[in-house]
Amino acid sequence: MPLDLGHPVYEHYTTFKLGVGASVGYYARLLVPLVRKAIADPCCRDWVLTAPPYDAVRAGANLLCEAVDVLLQGSLPTGFESRRIDIRHHPVDPHHPEINRPYRYSSVGWRERRQSREYWHSLTIDEPRFTGRDVIFVNDINVTGAQRDAMRRYFAGFGAASVAWVYIIDVDEAIGRATPELEEAINTSTPLSVEQLAELTAGCGIRVTSQCLHRLLSLDEPDFKSLLTLVGKASREELLRLVRAESRYRAPQFAAKLGLLQRACAHPRASPVAWRMRI
């Protein structure tokens, strides 16, 4: 800190986190050379591509890993098959204290992040296909190392041969632990109004991410109501489907917003924007 959010690497980051396809593709193209380098390492013999665990709705990092995989398939020898493994986690306990904390993970300190990661790590579903293999872990950002520590233990538990960590932004962990709030600054480096959020997520080139859902549900009540007036009935119903699919939104802290969304779906109103969403 201070962080130069005017640097070109941050230009597409906020929209990438929401799931905008052009932004995901922009970063995937930057990461493919790093992944190729990892694959070319003589010690890397039986590699697999993966990203952080998710419940029902993918995060930006999962879309990024998928896009990297697609680009690799187009550049490797004929007959190459995808080696991507998706890591999933069990549904959350909606009453667990970690789910109901009134903060965003990206804005809290090292100790709180470690505590948070311990809970999420406990939900990660076993994946024995990592045993003995060289893992290439694609993610968007590393700030404090809390998630990397958890995933390192996860892969070690299956006897993975090695792990290569590939990031868009890899912060020096000593700096990240001293100023963890920089992650929130990066995530929101492009300010978006309610109207811009509605317009952006209406585009056909978006796959709404778990971060996008959380951002919408974190709006204050007046803004959330305003957002619901900007979208059509079919789109509100799709948003409701996604929220219901992601187990964390069964937590009490989201009950009021869920109620607003359910009532908006039950009582359609005219609106100028149609949402197009899919997991």
pLDDT grade for 153, boundaries at 50, 70 and 90: very high
Q: Compute the distance between CA of residue 61 and CA of residue 67 in angstroms, rounded to an integer.
A: 10
Sheet strand arrangement including 134-142:
47-50, 134-142, 162-170
Phi, psi of 156 (to 5 degrees): -65, -35
* Structural domains for the chain: 8-187 (3.40.50), 194-266 (no CATH)
Mean pLDDT value across residues 155-169: 96
- How do residues 40-79 score in pLDDT, each as one tens digit? 888 888 999 999 999 999 999 999 999 999 999 877 665 5
Check residue 279 and report its DSSP letter.
-
Neighbour count for residue 230 (Cβ, 10 Å): 19
> What confidence score (pLDDT) does residue 275 get?
46
What is the reported pLDDT for 78?
59
For residue 272, report the phi and psi dihedrals to the nearest 5 degrees: -85, -5
The separation between the first and the last C-alpha atoms of the chain, rounded to the nearest angstrom, is 35
The pLDDT of residue 244:
96
* Span 68-89, pLDDT tens digits: 999 998 776 655 677 899 999 9
92-103 average pLDDT score: 79
Contact assessment for residue 186 and residue 176, using Cβ atoms and an 8 Å cutoff = no
- E strand segments, the chain: 47-50, 134-142, 162-170
Q: Tokens standing for 81?
A: 């098959």
**Hunting for tokens 């009540």 — which residue is that?**
221
Give yes or no for a contact between 89 and 124, defined as CB atoms under 8 angstroms apart: yes
Who has greater pLDDT, 97 or 156? 156
Judge whether 246 and 210 are in contact, CB under 8 Å.
yes
Choose between 123 and 181: higher pLDDT.
123
List, in sequence order, the alpha helices (H) in the chain.
13-18, 21-40, 60-73, 110-123, 146-157, 173-178, 182-187, 194-201, 210-217, 221-229, 233-245, 255-266
Query: pLDDT grade, residue 112 (50/70/90)?
Result: confident
Which pTM value belongs to this model? Answer: 0.90
Per-residue pLDDT, 204: 78
Q: H or E stretch including 174?
A: helix 173-178
| Average of per-residue pLDDT across 155-177 | 94
Is the pLDDT confidence value at 201 over 80? Answer: no
User: DSSP label at 249?
Assistant: G
